[in-house]
Chains A and B, each alone.
Chain A
Amino acid sequence: MVEAARTSLSRGRPEGTDATARLDLVDRLRAAPDIGACGSGALQWLAAHAGIERGLFARVDDTERELVGVAGYGVPDDAVASVRLDCRDYDTPLSWVITGKDLASFDAAELGKRAGDMLLGPGPITAAPVFPGDETQAGGVLLLTPADDGGIDEDAVEWAASVLGMRLGQLMQGGDGRPTWGERLKRERAWLYGVIEAVTDPILLTDPEGRILIANRGAEDLLVAEADASEGRRHAVALNNLMFSASLAPLSQLDDARRRELLLVDPVDGSDLLLELISTPLQIRSGEMGKVAILRNVTDLNRAFDELQTNYKKLHKTEAEARGERDRLDLILNSVADPILVTNAEGEVVLMNPPAARILTVGDESDHAAERRVRANDAMLSSFLSNVYTRAKQPWRAELKLTDPESGAELPIEAIGTTYAEASGESAVVTVLHDRSEAAEKARLYEQVFRHSAELEEKVREATAELAEQNELLRRQALELERASAMKSQFLANVSHELRTPLNAMLGYTSLLLESVYGELTPQQHDKLSRVAANANHLTTIITDVLDIAKIEAGKIPVTIEEFRLSDLVEAVLAEFEPLVADSDLEVCVDVSREIPPLRSDPGKVKQIVINLFSNALKFTADGSVSLAARHDETRDLVTIEVVDTGIGISADNQKAVFEAFGHSAHPLTTDKSGAGLGLSISRRLAEVLGGKIELESAPGEGSTFKLTIPRRLPSS
C-alpha cells in the first residue's frame, strides 16, 4: 500500500494540483499538531484542489470494528465527533475500502442515515483508505462528496491520502496515543492470555515431552503445586499429573483431536472430578508438535446423568406399580358379583366389571329387544349419575328399576354413587349397583327356611310333649305295676297264710294220730295216715315255693354270702337223694372236681337250685342216666353246673314256659309227677339273684341239659 501510494504520488496530475499546491498540503500537514488538525488540513486542501464539496476523515478504532469521526469539511464539528461507522460486516463497501488499498465509490445510503444522508448528503461518495507510516492495514478513511460542477480529482485524492498517511505515521511514532506495532503485539498477547484465563475449563499447551508450556488458572489448580502448598495438595497434584500424562501419552501417536474421560482429584476438597479431555496437536516450533489440551469438568454432568437414570428407573418402577395396582383393581372389580362402574365427568364409562357390562352393554349376540333394554338402563343410570354430580362428595343412593337385557326380567337395583377426584383433578364417579332382586330372593328363601324351621320346632315340641306324656303314663303304669306287684306279693302272702293255717291243723292232728296220742293205730291205718302226712308236707312245699317267688319278686329274699366248696355242696345234695337214686334203675354220674377253687356265693341258694335241677332230672327220666358235672371257666371266673338226663325231653315250644311260674300246666308229666311245680321258675330267679343264669338244651325224647352258670365270686352288694 505504501508502494501504491508512492506510485500514485509519482503519477500525480500536474494540471489540478501543481507543485505549489502540493507543497501547500505538505506544509499544512507538517504544521498540524494532531490527527484532527491533519484531517482538517487535508480536507481543506482537497476542497480547494480536488473538487469536493463535503468531506469526513474517520480513523479506524483499535478494535478495527468501527470508524470514529476525527475531522470534517462542510459539516458541523460536533456532528463529526459523534460519527461511528460500523464496519464489522465484511461485505460492505466501507470494509472493502479498509481491507483493500484503492479508492472506492458508492452511494451515501450505504453508510446509514446519520453519516450518509444527514452528514454528507445523498449521492455518490468517494472513499480513500489512509495507511499510517509503513503499516499495511488502514488507519483511517477519507469520505468525500463531489462538488456540483464536476467530478472529484481522484489522483489528487490518492496523493493527499498518501501524504496524510505519512504524517499520521509520524504522529503515532511520536507517542501521540496510537500504539506501536511492538506494543500492539504485547497487548494482543495479553488479550490472548486473558481469553485463556477467562475460560473456566483448564487449558494447557504441552511440548512433545509433555512439559507444560502454557496453563491457565483452572489447569494450574489441578496440575501445579506452589512451593508453599500443603502436603495434601502436593499429593493430589502429583497424582493428577500422573493421570493426565498417562491419558495424554497414547494420544501422542495420533495427529487428530481426541476425546477421552479422565478421573482426577480435586486438590482442594479431595473429591473425585470427572473430566473430559480434548486434545489437539499444535506446531509450536518448526518440526515440533505440542498439544493443546482442554479439560472439561463433567463431574456434575455425570452426576446429572446418573440422577436422570435413577429418576427414569424410578419412573419406570412407579409406572409398573401403577399398572400392577390397576391389574389388582381389575381383578377385584371382576371378582365382585355386584355390578361396579366408574364414569368420568362427561358421564363416559371408564371402567366396569363384567356384571355391570352385562346390564349396560350390548353383547354380540344381543337381539333388538336386548339393545332397547340396555339403552333404557343406560338412560336410567345417566339420570342417576347427574344426581350424584349435583350432590358432590356425598354418596348418593337411589333405587333403580333396571331390566335384565337377556331375560327382560325386572331388576330392582339399589345404586350407590360416590364422587371422587382423580389425580388429574377431574372428578369421577364410582357406582356400585346392588341387585335387590337377589336380596329379595334370599329374603324369600330365608323366610321359607325360617317357616320350615318353625314348623319343625313345633313338631319337635309336640313330639316332646307327647313323649313326656307317655313317659308320665309309663311312670304311672310302672308305679301301678309296682303296686300291683306289691299287692300280688301281699296277696300271695295272705293266701299262703290262709293255706298254712288249715294245713297246720291237718299236719298237727296227723302227727298226733301217728304218734299214738289218741291211741295205737293198726299198721294199715298208720300207713294211710303217713300218706296223708306226706301230701300235706308236699302241699306245704308248694305253698313255700309260691311264697318264695313272691319273696324274690318283692326283692325280699336275703342273700347270705359265704365261702364254700362246690364238691362239698354236691356231696350233701347227693346224700339227700341217696334213697331215691337207690330206688331207681338210673345210672348216676357225678363229676365235680375238688380242684375247683372255693366259691363265694350264697350256698343255700346254690344248693336249692342244684336240688331242683337234680330232682327234676330224676323225676322225668324213666331209664338211662342222670349226670351232674361242674366246671370252672378260669378266664371269666365262672362256675358251670350241668345236669344232663336221658329223659322225656322238652319241646322247643315249652322250653321257655317251663321257667315261668304257673306257666307250665301243659307239661305232659305234671299231672303224673308231683313236684315239678314252681321249681324251675324259682331256680331261674335264684340264679339271677346270684348274678347268673340257667340255660336249657332239649328235644322231646332225647333228654334235657340244664346248665347253671354263676360267677365264682359274688360281690357283696
Chain B
Amino acid sequence: MADTPQDKTAPTPMVLIVDDARDGRESCADYLSFRGYRVATAEDGEEALDRAFELRPDIILMDLRLPKMDGLEATEILKKDERTRAIPIIAVTAHALPTTHEDAIAAGCNSVITKPCAPRELEAAIRDELGTGSVDGNGA
C-alpha cells in the first residue's frame, strides 16, 4: 500500500473511466477504488463530456470506440475547452493497430494503453501521467 496515491494532506485523485463495456468499466473502477482513487464512470462520449465538465476529474481513461460520440471526438472537445484542457487523458483501446495510437495522440490523448491490460499496469500509467502532468500538485 506504500505506493497508493492516498495522502492525508491532499484529496485523492479523481479518475473518470469512460468505457461502453460494463465489465471492463466496472472491473477497472473496482480496482482503482480499491487502490484509493475517487472514481467516476461514463458509458459513451457525450456522457464523458458531461461528467468531465461537471466533475473536473484529475485524469480520464478514455475508451476510443464508443456509442453516440467516439473517444477521439470527445478528447478533441475536452482538449479545446478551457475548463478541461489540462486534464490528462489516457486512451485505453482494444485497437492494436499503430494508426490507432497515432490518431489518439493527434486527437490530444497524452498516452495510449492497449487492452487487455492488467489493472496494475493501468494504475502505473495513471501514476505516470499524474506525476508529470498534475494540476493539483499532488503527485510531483
Chain A residues in contact with chain B, CB under 8 A?
493, 496-509, 511-512, 515, 517-518, 536, 540, 544, 547, 550-551, 556-558
- 30 residue pairs of the A-B complex, CB under 8 angstroms, read A493-B95, A493-B96, A497-B96, A500-B96, A500-B116, A501-B21, A501-B24, A503-B115, A504-B23, A504-B24, A504-B116, A504-B117, A505-B21, A505-B24, A508-B24, A508-B27, A508-B28, A508-B31, A511-B31, A511-B118, A511-B119, A512-B30, A515-B34, A517-B31, A536-B116, A547-B96, A551-B98, A556-B97, A556-B98, A556-B99
Q: Chain A contacts of B93 at CB under 8 A?
A: 497
Assembled-state Cα–Cα distance A515/B32 (Å): 12
Interface flag for B94 (CB, 8 Å) = yes
Q: Chain A contacts of B117 at CB under 8 A?
A: 504, 507
Interface residues of B in 20-47 (CB under 8 A from A): 21, 23-24, 27-28, 30-31, 34
Q: How far is the CB of A200 from chain B (nearest CB, A)?
A: 136
Task: Determine if A509 and B116 form an interchain contact, defined as CB atoms under 8 angstroms apart.
Answer: no
- A502, A504, A540, A557: most-surrounded residue (chain B CB, <10 A): A504
Chain B residues with a Cβ closer than 8 Å to the other chain, count: 23
Q: How far is the CB of A704 from chain B (nearest CB, A)?
A: 31
Task: Determine if B116 and A507 form an interchain contact, defined as CB atoms under 8 angstroms apart.
Answer: yes
Interface flag for B65 (CB, 8 Å) = yes
Assembled-state Cα–Cα distance A507/B122 (Å): 12
Assembled-state Cα–Cα distance A312/B93 (Å): 124
Q: How far is the CB of A501 from chain B (nearest CB, A)?
A: 5
Q: Chain B contacts of A506 at CB under 8 A?
A: 116
Q: Chain B contacts of A509 at CB under 8 A?
A: 23, 27
Task: Determine if A512 and B119 form an interchain contact, defined as CB atoms under 8 angstroms apart.
Answer: yes
Residue on B with the closest CB to A518? B30
Q: Chain A contacts of B96 at CB under 8 A?
A: 493, 496-497, 500, 544, 547
Q: Chain A contacts of B94 at CB under 8 A?
A: 496-501, 504
Q: How far is the CB of B124 from chain A (nearest CB, A)?
A: 13
Assembled-state Cα–Cα distance A547/B120 (Å): 24
Q: How far is the CB of A573 from chain B (nearest CB, A)?
A: 23
Q: Chain B contacts of A497 at CB under 8 A?
A: 65, 93-96
Q: Chain B contacts of A505 at CB under 8 A?
A: 21, 23-24, 27
Residue on A with the closest CB to B97? A493
Residue on A with the closest CB to B31? A512
Task: Determine if B24 and A512 form an interchain contact, defined as CB atoms under 8 angstroms apart.
Answer: no
Q: How many contacts between A and B, using CB within 8 angstroms?
A: 81
Residue on A with the closest CB to B65? A497
- B65, B93, B94: most-surrounded residue (chain A CB, <10 A): B94
Residue on B with the closest CB to A505? B23
Residue on B with the closest CB to A498? B94
State the main secondary structure of chain A at its contact with B: helix
Q: How far is the CB of B103 from chain A (nearest CB, A)?
A: 13
Assembled-state Cα–Cα distance A504/B121 (Å): 12
Residue on A with the closest CB to B93? A497
Task: Determine if A507 and B118 form an interchain contact, defined as CB atoms under 8 angstroms apart.
Answer: yes
Task: Determine if A511 and B97 form an interchain contact, defined as CB atoms under 8 angstroms apart.
Answer: no
Name 15 extra pairs, CB < 8 A, besides A501-B21, A504-B115. A493-B95, A496-B94, A497-B94, A499-B94, A501-B24, A504-B94, A508-B116, A508-B118, A509-B23, A512-B31, A517-B34, A536-B116, A540-B116, A544-B96, A556-B99
Q: How far is the CB of A497 from chain B (nearest CB, A)?
A: 4
Assembled-state Cα–Cα distance A507/B21 (Å): 14
Q: Chain B contacts of A518 at CB under 8 A?
A: 30
Fill in one digit per residue for B6-23: 1 if any A CB lies within 8 Å of its CB, else 0.
000000000000000101
Q: Chain A contacts of B30 at CB under 8 A?
A: 512, 517-518
Assembled-state Cα–Cα distance A517/B30 (Å): 8
Residue on B with the closest CB to A490? B97
- A496, A550, A558: most-surrounded residue (chain B CB, <10 A): A496
Q: How far is the CB of A552 from chain B (nearest CB, A)?
A: 11
Q: What are the 4 closest A-B residue pairs judged by CB atoms, nearest first?
A: A505-B23, A508-B27, A500-B94, A504-B116
Q: Chain A contacts of B120 at CB under 8 A?
A: 511, 515
Q: Chain B contacts of A557 at CB under 8 A?
A: 98
Assembled-state Cα–Cα distance A466/B99 (Å): 41
Q: How far is the CB of B125 from chain A (nearest CB, A)?
A: 14
CB within 8 A of A512: which of B34, B99, B114, B115?
B34
Assembled-state Cα–Cα distance A493/B96 (Å): 7
Q: Chain B contacts of A507 at CB under 8 A?
A: 116-118
Q: Chain B contacts of A499 at CB under 8 A?
A: 94
Assembled-state Cα–Cα distance A551/B114 (Å): 15
Fill in one digit per residue for B84-122: 1 if any A CB lies within 8 Å of its CB, else 0.
000000000111111100000000000000111111100
Fill in one digit per residue for B120-138: 1 if any A CB lies within 8 Å of its CB, else 0.
1000000000000000000
Residue on A with the closest CB to B64? A497
Assembled-state Cα–Cα distance A508/B28 (Å): 7
Task: Determine if B27 and A502 form an interchain contact, defined as CB atoms under 8 angstroms apart.
Answer: no
Assembled-state Cα–Cα distance A207/B65 (Å): 163
CB within 8 A of A547: which of B97, B99, B115?
B97
Assembled-state Cα–Cα distance A608/B131 (Å): 32
Residue on B with the closest CB to A554? B97
Assembled-state Cα–Cα distance A556/B101 (Å): 12
Assembled-state Cα–Cα distance A518/B93 (Å): 26
Task: Determine if B31 and A551 form an interchain contact, defined as CB atoms under 8 angstroms apart.
Answer: no
Assembled-state Cα–Cα distance A504/B28 (Å): 10
Q: Chain A contacts of B115 at CB under 8 A?
A: 500-501, 503-504
Q: Chain A contacts of B65 at CB under 8 A?
A: 497
Q: Chain A contacts of B95 at CB under 8 A?
A: 493, 496-497
- B28, B93, B98, B115: most-surrounded residue (chain A CB, <10 A): B115
Assembled-state Cα–Cα distance A511/B96 (Å): 22
Q: Chain B contacts of A504 at CB under 8 A?
A: 21, 23-24, 94, 115-117
Residue on A with the closest CB to B22? A505
Q: Chain B contacts of A511 at CB under 8 A?
A: 31, 118-120
Q: Chain A contacts of B27 at CB under 8 A?
A: 505, 508-509, 512
Q: Chain A contacts of B31 at CB under 8 A?
A: 508, 511-512, 515, 517
Task: Determine if B23 and A502 form an interchain contact, defined as CB atoms under 8 angstroms apart.
Answer: yes
Assembled-state Cα–Cα distance A506/B116 (Å): 9
Q: Chain A contacts of B34 at CB under 8 A?
A: 512, 515, 517
Q: Chain B contacts of A547 at CB under 8 A?
A: 96-97
Assembled-state Cα–Cα distance A512/B28 (Å): 9
Assembled-state Cα–Cα distance A544/B96 (Å): 8
